[in-house]
Amino acid sequence: MALPLLLLQIWATVGAATIDNAKTLPCEPSSFTDPIVPGARVLSITAEEKRNFDIPAVPGLLEPVSDLNFCDVQIYLTHPGANDKVLVKTWLPLTRDLWNARFQATGGGGWATGMLDLALGPAIASGYAASSTDGGHPVDYFSADWTLNQDKSINWDLLQNFGTRSLADQIYVGKSLTEQYYGQQPRYSYWNGCSQGGRQGYAVAQRYPELLDGVLAAAPALRFPALTMSFLWPNLVMKVSGTVVSNCEFNWFASKALEECDILDGAKDGVIGDPDTCTFDPRRLVGEKLECSGVEIEVTEAMAEVVRRVHEGPSTPFGENVFPSLTYGTSLATFVNATANPDGSRTLNDPGLDVFARTILLRKSDNSNNYGWIMDSDNPDMSAFRDAGGKLLSWHGTNDDIIPSKTTVNYRQRVERELGGAKAVDEFFRLFLAPGVKHCAFGNGAVPKDPLETLRNWVEKYEAPDTLEAETKNKDDEVVTRNLCRYPRKLRYLGLGDVNKASSWTCEGGDKEEELRGERKTFRDEL
C-alpha cells in the first residue's frame, strides 16, 4: 500500500475514535449494569441527569456550591439474610471535561453513615466522581433509634453497615459506575471524612486496605463505643461528687487555662499551642471569684476538683486512664448542661442528646462489650495498607470539644510501636495537630485549607507533606495563617514578624523524640 494512503487510513481511524470530551454522556438506567459488590445484591438502579443543581452552605463547615451538572445514579442493594435496603448515591460529572479522572468516597457524621448530598456536592464541584451511602437507615446525625429493633434488641446488621460494611459497598459501587460511565477506571481513588467520617476512613484503611490510594481522615472517632460513654463523664463526676459546676463556671476555668498557657508557644494569640505543655491546675484558683447569672461565686476546693477530674478523664482504681478527656481551654458546653441560678444554686439538666439515651440502652443490652469489632477503628497493624501503597493523612484540632485529640495521638503512637517507629510510619501515615481548632472546624485556631489536595500531591507526586496550610480569621476579622506541623513537631513563634502570618512561625522538636522512639523499638526487637 502506498505510504500516503496508509497515513490517510490511520488518520481516519484515529479521527473516528477521537472522544469528544465536552459531550454530555448518556445518563439513564440502561447506561449501567449491576456493579459487583461482594456480599451484597443489587435491588435497583436509577439514573437521572441533574443540571444547575445547588447545595446550600453549612455555616463554618461547607461553602455553598451551585450550578452543578452531573449524572445522579442511585443504587439500592441488600445483604442476604440482613433484610436491609441500602442506598448508595453516586454522582458523576456529565462530561469527561468536567471529570478530573478521580473517584472520592465520602464519609458520614454523628450517627449518619453518610452525608449524601452535603458531601457529594463539594466533591462534584472539585471534579470528582463521588459516592455516599445511607447505610440502610435514616440520615440523622443525632438520633440512633435505628440501632434498635422494635423489640429493643440490637439491630446488628445495620450496626455492621454503619461500622464497616457499607463503607466498602459504596466504594465498590462508585468505582464500578465511574468506570462504566467514562469507559475507564479512575486514575486514583480517595476517602474524605471528618468525625464519624474520619473513623470510617481509618476503618477502610485497616479493613479494606487495597480499595483506595489515599485516605483523608480528620478528627476521627476511633473508639466510638468508648467515646459515646465518655460523653457522660462530666455529668457522672458531678453526680458522684455532689458538686455541680455550671457551663458558665467551666468556661471561666477554660479562660483561665488559656491565660496561663497561651504564651507557652512564644506568642499571645488566643491559642494554646501545645496542650501537653500546659500544666494548668484548677485547684490553684480556689478562693478566686467570678460572676455567673449576676451572682458572685467563690471557687471552692470541691468545684476545682470536679473540673480537674472532668479534664483528667475516666480512670481505673489504679490510676490508668480509660479514655482521654478534653484538653484544658476547651469548652465543655456540648456535654455539660448545668446552670448557675441567680439564687446561687445549680441545676444539672438532662443532657438532652439522643446519643446519651441510646448509649445507655446499648450498655444495658447483652454483649455490650462486643461493639468494638464493628465500631472501633483503632487496630494499630496497618501493614496491609502500607504494603498496598496507601497514604493516610489525618489532622485533629487540639481544642476539639467532642473527640479528644489525644485519642488520635495515642493511636499514632501505637502504630509506631507496631510498625517500626515514627520514621517508618511517616512513609504512609502522617498526623497534623491544629492548635485551637474545635471539632472539624471553628475555634480560634487556623483550620486546614485543602488537606485533600495535600494528600493528592503525596499520592500522585510523591510529595510527602511536612506542613499543612491552615487559615482562619481572628476576632478583629484579620486573616490568620499557619503551616501546621507534622506530628510530633510543634508550632513555635520566631519572636519576630506578624503573629498572624505563617512565616512568623516554625516547626520545632520531634526529630530527637522520633529517633529515640525508633531506638527503643529496635532495642526491644533485638531483645
Contacts of residue 399, Cβ cutoff 8 Å, sequence gap at least 6? 272, 327, 329, 330, 331, 435, 436, 437, 438, 443, 444, 445
DSSP code at position 263: G
171 CA to centre of own chain: 18
Inter-axis angle of helices 301-312 and 247-261, nearest 10:
70
Q: Which of 377, 400, 401, 405 is the catalytic position? A: 400
Contacts of residue 97, Cβ cutoff 8 Å, sequence gap at least 6? 21, 22
To the query of whether residue 134 is one of the catalytic residues in this protein, the response is no
To the query of whether residue 400 is one of the catalytic residues in this protein, the response is yes
- Count, residues in the chain: 527
User: What one-character-per-residue DSSP string does 40-83 give?
Assistant: -EEEEEEEEEEEEEEE--BTTTB--EEEEEEEEEEEEEE-TTT-
Q: Cell 460513654 appears where?
A: 229
CB 511 within 8 A of CB 492: no
Closest CA to 93 of 118, 72, 119: 72
Dist. CA 161–CA 138, nearest whole Å: 12
CB 458 within 8 A of CB 450: no
Residue 445: phi, psi to the nearest 5? -90, 165
The DSSP bridge pattern shows strands 188-194 and 102-106 to be parallel
Q: Judging by beta carbons within 10 Å of its beta carbon (0-12, 13-18, 19+), is residue 508 exposed, middle or buried?
A: middle
Dist. CA 452–CA 458, nearest whole Å: 10
To the query of whether residue 439 is one of the catalytic residues in this protein, the response is yes
In SS3 terms, 198-261 reads as HHHHHHHHHHCCCCCCEEEEECCCCCHHHHHHHCCHHHHHHHHHCCCCCHHHHHHHHHHHHHHH
Inter-axis angle of helices 405-418 and 511-526, nearest 10:
40
Dist. CA 396–CA 306, nearest whole Å: 26
Q: Which of 195, 377, 394, 405 is the catalytic position? A: 195
Longest dimension (CA), the chain: 104
CB 437 within 8 A of CB 270: no
Contacts of residue 373, Cβ cutoff 8 Å, sequence gap at least 6? none
Q: Which of 79, 137, 311, 439 is the catalytic position? A: 439
Give the active site residues. Answer: 195, 400, 439
